[in-house]
Amino acid sequence: MDWDYRSRVDAEDRPIFETDWQSFRVRKGKGETEPLVLTAEYKYEQPGHYQIAARVTDVFGNDGIATVTAEVK
């Protein structure tokens, strides 16, 4: 998760995804994995509009990003 996506850009004005929170599956033993945590919380210090981005990567290295705008009052 990037809680303030698009606030940081590269030299070509493309947004930089900076991981602020992550969850991944951990193998406990043969055939056993710990549950994947799918809930995250973040508290914004200042009111405003924020772009939140979630990046998901599969076992083959393919990834995708979904974004949503949040208004903090």
Tell me what pLDDT residue 9 has: 96
Tell me what pLDDT residue 42 has: 95
CA 54 remoteness from chain centre: 4
Which residues in the chain land under pLDDT 70? none
Residue where the block lists tokens 């070509």: 12
Q: What is the pTM of this model?
A: 0.79
Tell me what pLDDT residue 32 has: 80
Tell me what pLDDT residue 71 has: 97
DSSP at 6:
T
